[in-house]
């Protein structure tokens, strides 16, 4: 067993990294245990071609250090994976975070020690760590999901998953590449893979709604204006539902000369547009314009109209009418899943070296040593890529084999779906905290903002316990019950939970996983205020145990 620390943190992504910084500030000894060889979490593992973030980088960045904000240059408005990973490394170097991080350490067991009031963590290699507090900073989308397809183990070619892409370059030149999955990862990867491969076959089960991403380079004047207003911007993030400030640079730097933006000439509700205006909108703007109408998320009729406008636009973009029809989402509406952003997705299907296979017509039969058999047709492949997503939000926590008081297993507690208070703690699991856990805004919020708020809350909580000589904290069972009820009730009636919606938010992508809407949809400010109430009122929703 290694030297004593106050808190063990599992995961060295943005949450684990900030925990080192913050806990040190609070005078706590901290140690991060990370399975990978370095920092970065999501941005360390998801190195697939085309990977990038769907939140603007000036907002998807740490707010804890004004000096950091002033010194880091983002090359693009929405950064690519390698630039975000470069940022993570810069932060780790700048604040000497690696001194308190241990890599190549996958935690396979997390066990409460009743007699000693501490957590015992065991790594895959058998190394044991103990501390009174444990923070699971294991990420919401960190356990890759690989479907169980017969014959998969017999495939003789190269196999990759977008969520665990190798660090070494993958050469696809001239190869016959197949990709399964058309969610965010697949949609981002497909255009890049098509450019690199000899031939690309896309195996699509559910067509996606995807809108063109902002591809702009970062302009120095815009970045400077953010820098000049960063304190204000960070404050605005705290009051925005999704944790983004939506700060707009002043008109003089906002747009290069000659650029226009005319969405403002349309009404705010799609239902208020007549058919002529709708056509004019679709001619004048990209697909993303549809998302600006708030009623498409709340009104089924508006949603149906938006879905049809979307389909018409796709028909215009894809040359082959049969392929176009196969690419059209029909069984669910815009707003049910995480919005996907792309660069040249539909155009890619106009390339001669790309084939779309619609699994909705005939599902995959078997994977053979040399490809995929679907009905009577065999698709010969040299490389098979799974872009099949993640066991989201609960996967990493359940995989860690967490056992609380009396050996109570988290798996057992969550057999019917996750039960937690504020996505921060579970009753029966004292001094165990989750960062962006189920029941918190997490994936519906700018992750960096959500992470900082959680780590600050956890740090303050541990400091409070220590300063009042109290040993343990865990939620009252009734606190988590009523919070779970609240999380469910605010999700009801939204597009996220319509019966036709099968998203990973609901666990619907994992066979057998309970169908529960896992993130908190009530908005970051409301959630944050609830957390702050707990802190300022002496944690009334929790049980605090004496030394």
Contact residues: ligand N01, CB under 6 A: 53-54, 141, 147, 162, 180-186, 188, 205-206, 338, 341, 359, 364, 387-390, 443, 504, 509
Q: Which is nearer to ligand N01, 31 or 161 (CB)?
A: 161
Residue whose CB is less far from ligand N01, 15 or 341 = 341
The residue with tokens 């880091």 is 72
Q: Convert 470-488 to b/e letters by CB count within 10 Å (16 or more is b).
A: eebbbbeeebbeebbeebe
CB of 114 to ligand N01, least distance (A): 38
Closest residue to ligand N01, based on beta-carbon distance: 183
Smallest distance from the beta carbon of 467 to ligand N01, in angstroms? 38
The CA R_g of the chain, rounded to the nearest whole Å, is: 24
Nearer CB in complex with ligand N01: 186/333: 186
Q: What 3-state DSSP class applies to 144?
A: strand
The nearer residue to ligand N01, 479 or 509, going by C-beta atoms, is 509
Work out how close the CB of 414 gets to ligand N01 at its nearest, in angstroms, rounded to a whole number.
20
Q: How far is the CB of 189 from ligand N01 (least distance, A)?
A: 9
Give the SS3 label for residue 479: helix
d(CA 40, CA 433): 20
Q: For residues 9 and 432, what is the distance between their CA atoms, to the nearest angstrom?
A: 10
Q: What sign does the dihedral 15-338-189-500 (CA atoms) show?
A: positive
Shorter beta-carbon distance to ligand N01: residue 341 or 422? 341
Cβ proximity to ligand N01, 170 vs 211, nearer residue: 211
Task: Find the angle CA(84)-CA(88)-CA(94) to the nearest 5 degrees.
Answer: 135
In the block, tokens 């541990």 appear at: 462
Give min distance, CB of 497 to ligand N01, in A. 16
What span, in angstroms and rounded, lies between the C-alpha atoms of 429 and 474?
Answer: 6
- CA 389: distance to chain centroid? 11
Measured CA to CA, the distance from residue 524 to residue 537 in angstroms comes to: 20
**Cβ distance to ligand N01 smaller for residue 104 or 362:** 362
Measured CA to CA, the distance from residue 200 to residue 193 in angstroms comes to: 7
- Least gap, CB of 388 to ligand N01 (angstroms): 4
Contact 348, 195 (CB under 8 A): no
Cβ proximity to ligand N01: between 41 and 389 the closer is 389
Cβ distance 327 to 310 under 8 Å?
Answer: no
Query: Which phi-psi region, left, alpha or beta, contains residue 467 (left: φ > 0; alpha: ψ -120 to 50)?
Result: alpha
Residue closer to ligand N01 (CB basis): 267 or 360: 360
**Complex with ligand N01: residue 184 or 472, whichever CB lies closer:** 184
CB of 213 to ligand N01, least distance (A): 8
- Nearest-approach distance from CB 173 to ligand N01, in angstroms: 24
> Is the alpha carbon torsion for 512, 514, 515, 521 positive or negative?
negative
Q: How far is residue 158's CA from residue 179's CA, in Å, rounded to a whole number?
A: 12
- Beta carbon of residue 468, minimum distance to ligand N01 (angstroms, whole number): 39
Report in angstroms how near the CB of residue 363 gets to ligand N01 at its nearest: 7
| SS3 (DSSP) at 341 | strand
Token code pair at residue 2:
């290694």
Report yes or no: 105 and 396 within 8 Å, Cβ to Cβ.
no
């Amino acid at each position: 067993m290694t030297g004593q620390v106050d808190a063990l943190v599992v995961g060295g992504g943005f949450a684990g990294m900030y925990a080192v910084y913050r806990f040190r500030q609070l005078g706590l000894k901290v140690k991060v245990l990370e399975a990978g060889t370095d920092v970065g979490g999501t941005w360390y593992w998801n190195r697939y071609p085309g990977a990038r973030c769907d939140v603007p980088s000036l907002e998807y960045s740490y707010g804890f250090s004004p000096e950091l904000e002033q010194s880091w240059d983002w090359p693009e408005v929405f950064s690519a994976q390698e630039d975000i990973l470069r940022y993570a490394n810069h932060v780790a170097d700048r604040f000497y975070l690696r001194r308190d991080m241990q890599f190549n350490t996958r935690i396979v067991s997390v066990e409460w020690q009743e007699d000693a009031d501490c957590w015992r963590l065991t790594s895959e290699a058998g190394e044991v760590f103990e501390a009174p507090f444990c923070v699971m900073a294991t990420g919401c989308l960190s356990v890759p999901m690989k479907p169980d397809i017969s014959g998969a183990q017999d495939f003789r070619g190269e196999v990759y998953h977008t969520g665990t892409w190798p660090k070494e370059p993958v050469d696809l030149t001239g190869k016959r590449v197949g990709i399964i999955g058309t969610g965010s990862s697949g949609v981002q990867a497909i255009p890049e893979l098509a450019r690199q491969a000899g031939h690309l076959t896309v195996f699509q089960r559910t067509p996606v709604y995807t809108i063109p991403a902002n591809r702009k380079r970062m302009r120095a004047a815009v970045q400077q204006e953010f820098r000049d207003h960063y304190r204000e911007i960070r404050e605005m993030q705290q009051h925005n539902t999704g944790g983004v400030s939506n700060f707009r640079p002043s008109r003089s730097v906002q747009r290069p000369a000659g650029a226009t933006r005319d969405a403002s000439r349309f009404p705010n509700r799609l239902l208020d547009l007549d058919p002529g205006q709708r056509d004019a909108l679709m001619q004048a703007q990209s697909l993303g314009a549809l998302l600006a109408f708030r009623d498409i998320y709340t009104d089924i009729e508006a949603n149906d109209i938006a879905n049809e406008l979307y389909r018409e636009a796709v028909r215009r973009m894809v040359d082959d009418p049969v392929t176009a029809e196969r690419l059209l989402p029909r069984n669910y509406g815009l707003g049910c899943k995480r919005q996907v952003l792309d660069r040249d997705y539909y155009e890619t299907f106009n390339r001669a070296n790309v084939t779309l296979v619609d699994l909705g017509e005939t599902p995959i039969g078997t994977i053979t040593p040399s490809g995929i058999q679907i009905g009577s047709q065999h698709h010969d492949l040299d490389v098979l890529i799974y872009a099949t997503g993640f066991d989201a939000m609960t996967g990493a926590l359940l995989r860690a084999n967490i056992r609380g008081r009396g050996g109570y297993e988290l798996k057992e507690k969550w057999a019917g779906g996750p039960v937690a208070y504020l996505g921060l703690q579970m009753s029966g699991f004292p001094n165990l905290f989750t960062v962006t856990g189920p029941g918190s805004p997490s994936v519906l919020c700018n992750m960096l903002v959500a992470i900082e708020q959680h780590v600050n809350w956890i740090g303050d909580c541990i400091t409070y316990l220590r300063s009042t000589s109290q040993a343990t904290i865990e939620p009252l069972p009734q606190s988590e019950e009523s919070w779970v009820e609240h999380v469910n009730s605010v999700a009801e009636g939204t597009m996220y939970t319509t019966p036709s919606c099968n998203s990973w938010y609901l666990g619907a992508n994992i066979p057998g996983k309970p169908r529960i809407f896992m993130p908190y949809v009530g908005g970051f400010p409301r959630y944050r205020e609830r957390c702050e109430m707990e802190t300022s009122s002496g944690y009334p929703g929790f049980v605090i145990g004496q030394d």
